[in-house]
Amino acid sequence: MIIEVTWRELGIDRDGTRFIDDGRDRTDRRFKGKTKFEPLSDYTVVDLETTGLNPAYNEIIEIGAIRVRDNQEVARYQTLIKPEEKISPFIEQLTGISNEMVENEAPFIEVIPSFLEFLGSDVVVGHNVHFDVNFLYDQSARNGIRFTNNCMDTMRLAKFLFKGFRNYRLRTLVREFKFAKKTEHRAMSDAFLTFQCYEHMLRHAKDAGVIIKPLDSRGIGLLAKDILPAGGLEDPDCALFGQVCVFTGTLERMTRRQAMQLVVDRGGKVADSVTQSVDYLIMGNTDYRKVKDGKSSKLRKAEKMQLEGHDIEIIPEDEFYEILSVERNSDASAS
């Protein structure tokens, strides 16, 4: 069945920190699966190599996947894919995948059925997993195929379990966990390292008595008064310094608690509801793009206040990250 989707260009780099709308079409990912945050024993690790960082323009050139049952590897899937565009010299050097290597490989439309059969209904586990899932979703949609698997992000889990790492890139975790093998920017190699990291973190959590449980990214039950500044991170030059921020909708990159913590750490303030003292209403990306489908009470109130002349700004999640100059903890290419 051909899926009718509306496309508009989403100019993002791989960790989703920028939203630049230049008028080109992109998928709205209306059927994208849910983000999980829990210990899994049965799942499939997936890693991709691509011709670039933007799913609207670039293509998948390699898929590596490892099926896991009872926390043990039971099967692998690996394939190169011939893209429509040429692989750039930079990507060739980065990944080791050349145009000659993919010349006689099958295109995506011929590969995706066998990959989806291998994947089944498994949760996709990956490092900075939304990069991979968004590519799979978008390229599948362009070919009339719906990709709906849920996903689990090992980067997010690492941030939850281990505080104070310099960053949370896959190669950093490999070094911190003292694994012998290094990341290679090849799909199967990095899928295996992601599998090792995830199982290592599950064992660490169990040994430390840390409970990994589903997080409500909408922040239900979370109160602004519970978010206290870490101290020493205030940034008077930040646009949110001294400003009051309220969040609405589901965030893509982090939980609402984490986002609120970023605000107060930079010297901003957070609130639970939209009042005359609020300076910014920050909307999850999905909600920002689909406001025609229904508006939250916070958004309706903020829009009413704008019409009444109050100085409140309504911004999407990606603009929030840019304002805060959030450190990009993901690799500059596929993990």
9 within domain boundaries? no
More confident: 204 or 223: 204
pLDDT per position as a tens digit, 120-139: 999 999 998 989 999 999 99
**Tokens 């043990």 sit at which residue?**
72
**120/268 same-domain check:** no
Find the mean pLDDT for residues 256-268: 90
Confidence band of 334 (pLDDT split at 50, 70, 90)? very low
Confidence of residue 284 (pLDDT cuts 50, 70, 90): confident
Domain shared by 40 and 148, yes or no: yes
pTM: 0.62
Tokens in use for 64?
A: 């590596």
For residue 193, the one-letter residue type is L
- At 80-120, the pLDDT tens digits run 999 999 999 989 998 999 999 999 999 999 999 999 999 99
Burial class (CB in 10 A: 0-12, 13-18, 19+), 37: middle
Strand order in the sheet with 313-316: 269-270, 244-248, 280-283, 313-316
Catalytic residue flag (residue 127):
no
CATH of the domain at 317: 3.40.50.10190
Domain boundary among 208, 235, 265: 208
272 and 192: one domain? no
* 278 inside domain: yes
Q: Dihedral through CA 227, CA 230, CA 233, CA 236, nearest 10?
A: 40
* Domain stops at, among 148, 181, 208: 208
Q: Please indicate, yes or no, whether residues 140 and 257 belong to a single structural domain of this protein.
A: no
pLDDT value of residue 28: 67
Residue type, 97: I
Rounded CA separation 57/52 (Å): 8
For 55, phi and psi rounded to 5 degrees?
A: -60, -20
Pair 77, 196 in one domain: yes
CB-count burial class (<10 Å; 0-12, 13-18, 19+) for 229 = middle
Q: Which tens digit of pLDDT belongs to each residue from 291-324?
A: 544 677 888 899 888 888 888 999 888 888 888 7
**Residues 127 and 76 grouped into a single domain:** yes
Are residues 289 and 173 part of one domain?
no
Q: Which domain holds residue 277?
A: 224-324
Question: Considering 185, 200, 204, 310, which one is annotated as catalytic?
Answer: 185
Instruction: Give the pLDDT score at 27.
Output: 54
In this structure, the answer to whether residues 182 and 237 fall within a common structural domain is: no
CATH of the domain at 71: 3.30.420.10
Count structural domains, the chain: 2
Q: Are residues 43 and 185 in the same domain?
A: yes
